[in-house]
Amino acid sequence: MASYKHFSVFLYAFVFAAVVSTAYSSLSPDYYDYSCPNALSSIRSVVEAAVQKEQRMGASLLRLHFHDCFVNGCDGSILLDPSPSIDSEKNALPNFQSIRGFEVVDEIKQAVDEACGKPVVSCADILAVAARDSVVALGGPTWEVRLGRRDSTTASREAANANIPAPFFSLSELISNFKSHGLNEKDLVVLSGGHTIGYARCATFRDHIYDDSNINQRFGKELKYICPKKGGDFNLAPLDRTAAQFDSVYFSDLIHRKGILHSDQELFNGGSTDALVKRYSYNSKAFHKDFAKSMIKMGNIKPLTGSKGEVRLNCRTVN
């Protein structure tokens, strides 16, 4: 009887491990190798052209992938336009009149479908690959994107409002938010490093420069010329001093109290993440390496695979 129980426990553990392994490995870097071997090169060509034309587009494509994964997993739901059945995430507070890059995604989708001869690559996978290629185009690290995601047939503005980290979040709120998505403090710091590229709207940093004390006074004064107390909500400021280059300057800026967003400066404000910010400020190699790892980890947040979801014919609408 004892040996039978031992065998049952062993069998259960084996089956459980197999299920977990299968769920985690359902995404694969070579998912399209046979169905569309030119898929990734097609995505890269469009992204490189878009970033060369407008460097800000690199940050926009990276941000699209972030905001997509933080709602109901990396399922392309952020790309869906409003309709009678779709409460579009494009209208959520973190995205409305702020998120960009949808036209480039449309261009990528067209190019990939032509290369494949039919719709094979999901819009969710396009976002994941485009985010990686954008980082590379701006001098950042590369990584193997795990593929095989399928596209959501729904979207949720409410979920987007609730799950996308806000620029006014405290450190504890940021940690809690990332933890709810299976990401730890290291992931929080290193993925926030994505703010080494791109720009922020005045409306997202006004409270920080006028109300917070943990900001370099001269830096704050400079930002006030860009962002008055009233009006100018869409005026832009670079998220770090080298906004068109993927480097570690973002972390150096935080150490000198020059974080644009309240949530950015919270990462270096006497809390548990200070040490990581210091490390990445002088070790760009470590930042690049860890960023790649965390991007892979984020890309695995609740993907739709197998028979779930669909491969959209048009990234803006369900089939």
Return the structure tokens found at 33: 């190798």
- 240 annotated as a binding-site residue: yes
Q: Which residues contact 149 (CB under 8 A, 6 or more apart)?
A: 27, 74, 75, 76, 122, 124, 125, 128, 303, 304, 305
pLDDT of residue 97: 84
Q: Please identify every stretch of the chain with a pLDDT value under 70, giving residue numbers as ranges.
A: 1-25
The angle subtended at Cα 179 by Cα 294 and Cα 26, nearest 5°, is 55
Which position among 6, 65, 67, 181 bears the catalytic label? 67
Whether residue 71 is annotated as binding a ligand: the answer is yes
Q: Would you say 228 is a known binding-site residue?
A: no
Given a contact cutoff of 8 angstroms between Cβ atoms, the answer to whether 273 and 251 are in contact is no
**Residue 14: per-residue pLDDT:** 45
pTM of the model: 0.90
CB of 180 within 8 A of CB of 159? no
Is 89 a known ligand-binding residue?
A: yes
**What's residue 26's pLDDT?**
83
Domains of the chain plus CATH, in order, are: 39-164 (1.10.520.10), 171-295 (1.10.420.10)
Whole-number pLDDT of residue 245: 95
**Catalytic annotation on 67?**
yes
The pLDDT assigned to 22 comes to 40
- Identify the DSSP state of 165: P
Amino acid at 203: A
> Is 165 within any annotated ligand binding site?
yes
234-281: per-residue pLDDT in tens? 999 999 999 999 999 999 999 999 999 999 999 999 999 999 999 999
